[in-house]
Amino acid sequence: MNKDQYFSIRAPARIHTALLNESGYLNRIDGSIGFVVDRPYWDITISADKSCMNLSHLDSELVPRLLETVAIFEIQFKLQIGVSISGEIPIHSGLGSKTSLLMGVGNAISELFNLNLHPPEIAAIVKRGGTSGLGIWAGSKRGFLWDAGRQYPNQKSTFSPSSTSIAKAPKLISNISIGEFSICHFRFTDRGISGISEQSVFTNNCPLPENEAIEALAIVGGGILPALLEKDIVNIQAPLRSLQRIGLKKIEWDLQSSVTKEFRSYWEKCVPDITLCLSSMGPTLYCLTDRPDFIKYIVENFYADPFHFIITS
């Protein structure tokens, strides 16, 4: 195949630290922070030959959604599109698997066919980013991300996860390098909450009290951002710890498997100075550290083996 007939892209995973405002405070909703990580990832090749289709490595749950997305691009822009997928971001693991895949496909289609689409435009086509915007921006950014959420109720009037929300993707407030720090992420359960169970977390608990949104926003602006800008690995731990104990994140921790909760207790005894965080609704756990080998040692000495352990940046 001629090189101008295909385009390849690597679509990274993301760590989702927290949704900041599920209360409607200041007539806003959502807003989220997190980190882009270079592993795991999807390797995506888009071609102008519809017969070049290889989805054999893709989880069967993702195939219909991917084919639907490709069909939308073909109809809207009058294209013939082939797709080849390798690599894997485990589905329902808290790493943004589906959004990364669909945004990666959209980005690659835009590049190959010179559509000049920006991330929010691609998000609208692939129908992602209706709650958190981290996965929308992760394909073109690195490091720490903070998205603005949206107006409530004018732009979005319901509390819901990205999988069921059709709101426009939010704008990006901040993108900061994490410097020399490492992110260690791992999980002790194969899959986490999804589908109806995920929606019920929002339905049964939102809106949250306004004071929790106020506290979360203060933690980010007054603690996490300054520590990232100053590359202060010590003083970022306390604000990250505070976020684990409020808002939806506290509820998400309560919903984790027994082995994940046992690991949290083990961690807090062994590593009291480094915060163990939960990505999205889990089950992936992570920490920011300048001692990744020590973290690996701690994880390896737990009684259960992790489904994955990755040191990344």
pLDDT tens digits for range 184-222: 999 999 999 999 999 999 999 999 999 999 999 999 999
Q: Give the tens place of pLDDT for each residue, 256-265.
A: 999 999 999 9
Q: What is the CATH number of the domain that holds 140?
A: 3.30.230.10
**Among 1-15, 148-162, 178-192, the least confident range:** 1-15
Which pLDDT score is estimated for 42? 98
Q: Is the pLDDT of residue 3 over 70?
A: no
Q: Tell me if the bond preceding 170 is cis, omega within 30° of 0.
A: no
Predicted local confidence at residue 9, as pLDDT: 98
User: With contact defined as beta carbons under 8 Å apart, do 46 and 105 qualify?
Assistant: yes
Domain with 276, as residue range(s), is 3-312
Are the CB atoms for 120 and 129 separated by under 8 Å? yes
| Alpha helices for 78-194 (secondary structure H) | 97-112, 119-126, 134-137
| pTM reported for the whole predicted model | 0.96
Q: What percentage of the chain has pLDDT greater than the value 90?
A: 95
Q: Which two tokens stand for residue 235?
A: 């003083």
Count of structural domains, the chain: 1
Residue 162 has what pLDDT? Answer: 85
Q: What is the mean pLDDT of residues 141-164?
A: 95
Q: Rounded distance, CA 306 to CA 184, Å?
A: 12
